[in-house]
Structure 1
Amino acid sequence: MKMFSEERRKRILDYLIRHNRATVKELAEILNVSKVTLRADLNSMESEGLLQRTHGGATLIESRPELPPTTSFSVREKTNQAEKRAIGKIAADMVSTGQCIILDASSTCLEMARILVTQQKRLTILTNGIMTALELRENPQFTVILIGGILRLGSAGLEGSLGTHILKEINVDTMYTSANGFVYDDGLTDFNVYEVELKKSMASSAQKIVALLDHTKIGRSSIASFVAPQDIDIIITDSGAAEEDLVKLRQMGLEVVVA
């Protein structure tokens, strides 16, 4: 059966996460594709900052001492910060006292947390974001639950399925989440396979999903999808979003709020 490029790239990244490095020969055999096709996949993934090409193969990007800007949280936190803050303000104002919510480890949800912590609301908040949890703990009315997992270099979020059992024990009203990108066919996408799997579990436990997307993320695709378009209830974006994108999103039946 033919394997599409997105599926191949998911499996390549998953293999590198488990083994740290791989040769073109072994990946071509595992995926049952030609070496030419495999090299094209690796070159494309390197250009997206997902891996490092080596002679005859590739290594996981985290194995290098430096991280590309697209994966470093400290860099992402400072990117489009004004837009993220505006989006976070609207999202925080949507939260009602007494609710149980999830905030992912994104820089946009961190901005939301910085506003939420100043509000007088009684909340239970689950998050895999270390910075987000530290921010939220300053409000005595909040019960903050940190979802456990693996902490990798350059990240401010815990990943993996180690702590997902807690999601089965708590009734979650709304998940607030961002992404590396949003595309109309696949919905919310991200570049880290382990984080994607955790986000899928988080999303499936929530009754409602609110996507926080600054305008640069609409139309941008990444390696794996974690929430399909039809499963998103609200998208909050900023005034930089193209009018044609806003129209298309609303035609899809999505509620769109512009900060």
Structure 2
Amino acid sequence: MFAAERRQLILEMVRANGAVSLRELARVVQTSEVTVRRDVRALEAEGLLDRRHGGAVLPGGFTRESGFPQKSHLATAEKTAIADLAAGLVEEGEAIVVGAGTTTQELARRLARVPGLTVVTNSLLVAQALAHANRVEVVMTGGTLRGSNYALVGSGAEQSLQGLRVSRAFLSGSGLTAERGLSTSNMLSASVDRALVQAAAEVVVLADHTKLGTDTMFQTVPTDVITRLVTDEPPGHDDRAATELQALADQGVQITVAGGAAGPSSAPGVDSVPAGRQQRRDVPLPGQRRNHGAGPGQQLRSALLGEQPPGERAARVADLRRR
């Protein structure tokens, strides 16, 4: 077991139990107490847990990650609206990757109607949603099952994605900020999400307004790699979410908002689509020009890529591979 995987297991045990002895940690991760003590010391240096005599405990104010049953009941209407819009981005015969999460699971349920689609995923729930879609081919990664969100993680999952190339990646996470991009509270999940991003020409993030302005431990997708954000309309009193949307648009992320009033919102670069409608308009960011001479597919691609030179975003993804 790699050190990163071992330390993630240690973190999950401490979060689940509040306090765990070194002996129990060593038994579960199948290594010596000396190695576990070194891992605990490293995790404490990162502020992820506190050492106690003979064991490890949660640091003050640190809460454990919510499991799938809890997440599946949060912002359900918003996730449904987001999934409806995101499904409209997928075309017949396309090859895409879909990450784990409750919002991506909703997306998968809508992709069953897209003929000739190939979906690569590390999520058992996404695969289950498409299991009976006769016209959709589902390819699953390898890896180790993470029971809290029914996702395959670890080196096996990451290695199975090497050499893969698809048109788009659809991902969700625990938080999204303009400063750090998409993030999650789980180290192994973040690592697999980064591998999914490396396989895609474009990255679409699905995040409801409750995740906007929230920053969690592990970065998965830097802001300058995100092509598009599909989200819902923040409540009028949620200034933090509205500010974050504007900041993301200012950094070149094309934003589509579900559930808003007809027509584009007041924020430049933000496209608002009424609930129940899957059509979309691609609104140029400040300084962009519409290409009226191009066909619909070319116009969409230009909007998604923010009118950047073709090599820039690919170069950024290539840079991530070298990290």
Structure 2 length normalisation: TM-score?
0.63
Q: Is the 8 A contact 2:169 2:196 kept in 1?
A: yes
Give the percent of matched residue pairs that are identical in Structure 1 and Structure 2. 29
> For residues 70 and 87 of structure 2, what CA distance do their matches in structure 1 show?
23
Aligned counterpart, 1:88: 83
1:58 maps to 2:56: yes
1:15 maps to 2:22: no
1:101 maps to 2:96: yes
> For residues 138 and 5 of structure 2, what CA distance do their matches in structure 1 show?
32
- The structure-2 alpha-carbon separation of the partners of 1:59 and 1:98, relative to structure 1 and needing over 3 Å to count, comes to farther
* Distance apart, 1:31 and its partner CA: 7.1
1:158 maps to 2:138: no
- The structure-2 alpha-carbon separation of the partners of 1:12 and 1:74, relative to structure 1 and needing over 3 Å to count, comes to same
* Unaligned ranges ≥5, structure 2: 14-19, 23-35, 236-240, 259-323
* Distance apart, 1:82 and its partner CA: 0.7
- The structure-2 alpha-carbon separation of the partners of 1:54 and 1:92, relative to structure 1 and needing over 3 Å to count, comes to farther
Q: Which has the higher contact order (CA 8 A, sep 6+)?
A: 1
1:75 maps to 2:70: yes
> For residues 208 and 156 of structure 2, what CA distance do their matches in structure 1 show?
30
Aligned counterpart, 2:273: none
> For residues 101 and 39 of structure 2, what CA distance do their matches in structure 1 show?
31
- The structure-2 alpha-carbon separation of the partners of 1:155 and 1:55, relative to structure 1 and needing over 3 Å to count, comes to farther
Amino acid at match of 2:156: L
Q: Is the 8 A contact 2:114 2:136 kept in 1?
A: no
1:192 maps to 2:199: no
Q: Is the 8 A contact 1:69 1:76 kept in 2?
A: no
Q: Is the 8 A contact 1:101 1:126 kept in 2?
A: yes
> For residues 101 and 26 of structure 1, what CA distance do their matches in structure 2 show?
40
* Distance apart, 1:165 and its partner CA: 3.5
Aligned counterpart, 1:50: none
Aligned counterpart, 1:221: 215
Q: Which runs of 4+ in 1 moved over 6 A?
A: 22-25
Query: Which structure has the greater CA radius of gyration?
Result: 2
> For residues 174 and 203 of structure 1, what CA distance do their matches in structure 2 show?
8
RMSD: 3.0
* Distance apart, 1:27 and its partner CA: 5.9
Q: Is the 8 A contact 1:16 1:22 kept in 2?
A: no
* Distance apart, 1:154 and its partner CA: 2.3
Q: Is the 8 A contact 2:96 2:166 kept in 1?
A: yes
- The structure-2 alpha-carbon separation of the partners of 1:115 and 1:149, relative to structure 1 and needing over 3 Å to count, comes to same
Q: 1:204-215 alignment to 2 at 5 Å?
A: 204-215=198-209
> Residues 88-118 of structure 1, C-alpha deviation per residue, up to 9 Å, x if partnerless?
111111100111001111110001111221x
> For residues 4 and 197 of structure 2, what CA distance do their matches in structure 1 show?
25
* Distance apart, 1:158 and its partner CA: 1.1
Determine helix, strand or coil for the equivalent of 1:158. Answer: strand
* Unaligned ranges ≥5, structure 1: 1-10, 44-52, 61-67
Aligned counterpart, 1:42: 49
Aligned counterpart, 1:173: 167
* Distance apart, 1:26 and its partner CA: 4.8
Aligned counterpart, 2:124: 130
Determine helix, strand or coil for the equivalent of 2:213. Answer: coil
- The structure-2 alpha-carbon separation of the partners of 1:54 and 1:140, relative to structure 1 and needing over 3 Å to count, comes to farther
- The structure-2 alpha-carbon separation of the partners of 1:124 and 1:153, relative to structure 1 and needing over 3 Å to count, comes to closer
1:146 maps to 2:140: yes
Structure 1 length normalisation: TM-score?
0.77
* Distance apart, 1:57 and its partner CA: 3.9
> For residues 193 and 100 of structure 1, what CA distance do their matches in structure 2 show?
27
> For residues 13 and 160 of structure 1, what CA distance do their matches in structure 2 show?
7
Across the two proteins, how many residue pairs are aligned to each other? Answer: 227
Determine helix, strand or coil for the equivalent of 2:155. Answer: coil
